Structure formats: structure tokens, C-alpha cells
Amino acid sequence: MICLHNYQKNGDSIMKSLLDGPHDINPDQELHPRIAAFMEVAPLLKDLFPQDFTIGVSDREKLLLGVGSKTIPPLETGYILHQGDGMYEAVQYGKVQQTILPKEIFGFPVQANAIPISDEKGNVIGAVGVASSLEQYNNLFDIASKLSVAVEQVTATIQELAGSVTSFSETMHFISEQSNSVLESVQEIEKVAKMVREVSDHSQILGLNASIEAARAGDYGKGFSVVAQEIRKMAGNSKEHTETIRSTVLKIDGLISQLHKSVSKSNSESESQSAALEELAATMQEINHNANSLAEYAEKIIKSEI
């Protein structure tokens, strides 16, 4: 059975014990063969694993051997086992221990694992402890957490932008429909103007014929001649106005056609942008999922759950 402890509350007392310095070891002390075997093998274990860790071997009271690492200095020989260091608990309870030492001790959090050493009768006679730095895993967790927050912010911005693009696309679609309606109305105006022009042309012909007939009638046709002139005058004015209307309608028709093309192009581009933003948002969500998984993985490593 593995007992997991976090001895944050014992950090000060452990630190004090470390600062007390080494304690004398009786050179004539007879070591149990199993403890002696661990002391002989301990320095070699560091070459078997790529991880950077420190190893300690103790009897029931004090450290007999300390092998340091690149990041963690070794405990001094003679260090008295203290509650909270993991090896103390391994000796006292005879069970494998996993301990998180607070950063106040070494300047960074440390995971310490310890196993009891038993004699042939099963009596606990010492312990072996291994400690490794959690600083890199903590940094990994912090980076993953920051990445997750940043991705969430970017995703929110993308979604907001996608909403704006969608709204713009809907507006462009509405304008396109309205421009089509206006274009149809302009075409109707052009038809009416064409009809008015035809009527004015026909009226000019009638007025000309009436003038000819009035001239033939002499004095009897003078009154009719005045009416014929007014008809021709009105027909001429109508033709002039219809030409102006027709010219204006053609300009409007050209402008609306150009507007319709621009709106259609903008609508197509906005739809493409919207699709691209949706794809980008999906990608950012996938990145966010991976960042969260990375943070969870780092947290599991820190808690020694994997």
C-alpha cells in the first residue's frame, strides 16, 4: 500500500532539521547486510534512469548515505529522520510513502518516495528514499494553463467576429434582395417611359397631320391649327422629358447593377470568411482541448497519479 502525504505544514520543522547539519555516525556501527547492499547499489542507480533524482539510505533513525543530483543537493550523512520527510514514515509505518515536500525546503517543490527496508523476519530496519524536482512539471502545468486561457480568449474573439461576419452577410443578403427589387422597379419605369415616348411620337405625327389639314382648310382651320401646334408642342416636351427619364433610368440601372455585383461579391466573401472563421474556431477549440489535456497530464504527474 502506498501512502501519499503532503507535508506543507511540516516544511519549517524539516528545514530546521536540515539546517541543524549532519550528526555524527559511529564508524564502528555494524550495518545489516540489506542496508549495506542498498548503500552499495544506490550510487549506481542514478546511471540507470534518465531522470534527475537524489537517493538516500537510512537506518531507523538517521541517514547513512546521501547521493545528490543536479538539481537537489544530497541530505547530509547523519541527518536525523524527521516527520514529513517520507523516510521517517516508511520506517514508522512499514509502508511505501509518497511525499510532496514544499518549495520552502529546496526552493522548488520536490516529490519524495520512500520504501522501508526489512530484515529476514520482516522487521523494519531502515529506508531508501528517492527525491526528484517537480519544478519542470509545475512550469509545464503553468504554461499549459496560460495557453488554455489564451486559447479561450482567442476562441471567444473568433466567435464574436464570426457572429459579426454572419450579421454582415445577412445584411448584404437583405441589401441584395432590395437592390433586385429596385432594379425591377427601374425596369418598369423604363417600360413606362418607352410607352410615353411612343405616345409622344404618335402625337407628333397626329399634330403634323392636323397642321396639314388645318392649312388646307384655310380660315376655317385656324382654330384647329392652334390646337395642332399645342399637340405637337406637348408631344415634343413629352419626348424630351421621356429622354431625360430614360437617360436617368439607364444610369440608375447601371449603378444598381454594379451595386448588385458588389453586394453579391461581398456576400460571397463574407460567407467564405464565416466558413473560415468557423473552421478556425473549431481548430482553436481542439488546441484548447489539447492544452487542457496537457495541464491535466502535468497535474497528474505532480500528484503521482500516473
Least confident segment among 105-109, 138-142, 148-152, 248-252: 248-252
| 112 and 169 inside one domain | no
Which residues, other chains included, contact 201 with Cβ-Cβ below 8 Å and sequence gap of 6+? 235, 239
Torsion angle of C-alpha atoms 249, 252, 256, 262, degrees rounded to 10:
150
Q: Is 136 left (phi over 0), alpha (psi -120 to 50) or beta?
A: alpha
* Domain around 284: 139-303
| 29 and 93 inside one domain | yes
> Which of 133, 163, 194 is at the close of a domain?
133
Supply the pTM of this predicted model.
0.49
| 32 and 80 inside one domain | yes
What is the arrangement of strands in the sheet containing 110-118, beginning at the earlier edge strand?
Answer: 2-6, 96-101, 110-118, 124-133, 53-59, 63-67
> Which of 90, 109, 133 is at the close of a domain?
133
| 85 and 163 inside one domain | no
| 155 and 299 inside one domain | yes
What is the tens place of the pLDDT at every residue in 3-59?
Answer: 434 444 454 555 445 444 444 555 556 889 999 999 998 888 877 777 778 899 999
DSSP bridge pairs for 130: 55, 113
In the chain, % of residues over pLDDT 70: 56
Q: How confident is the model at residue 62 (pLDDT cuts 50, 70, 90)?
A: very high
pLDDT for residue 7? 42
- Asked whether 209 and 217 are in contact (CB, 8 A), the reply is no
CA–CA separation, 50 and 53 (whole Å) = 9
| 37 and 81 inside one domain | yes
What is the tens place of the pLDDT at every residue in 210-265?
Answer: 566 656 666 555 555 555 565 556 556 556 666 777 677 677 767 667 766 766 76
pLDDT for residue 119? 92
Least confident segment among 71-80, 279-288, 294-303: 294-303
In the chain, % of residues over pLDDT 90: 15
pLDDT for residue 26? 55
| 148 and 128 inside one domain | no
What CATH number is attached to the domain comprising 198? 1.10.287.950
274-280: long-range contacts at Cβ-Cβ below 8 A with a sequence spacing of 24 or more? 274/162, 274/165, 274/166, 274/169, 277/158, 277/161, 277/162, 277/165, 278/162, 280/158
| 255 and 145 inside one domain | yes
Domain count along the chain: 2
DSSP 3-state of 31: coil
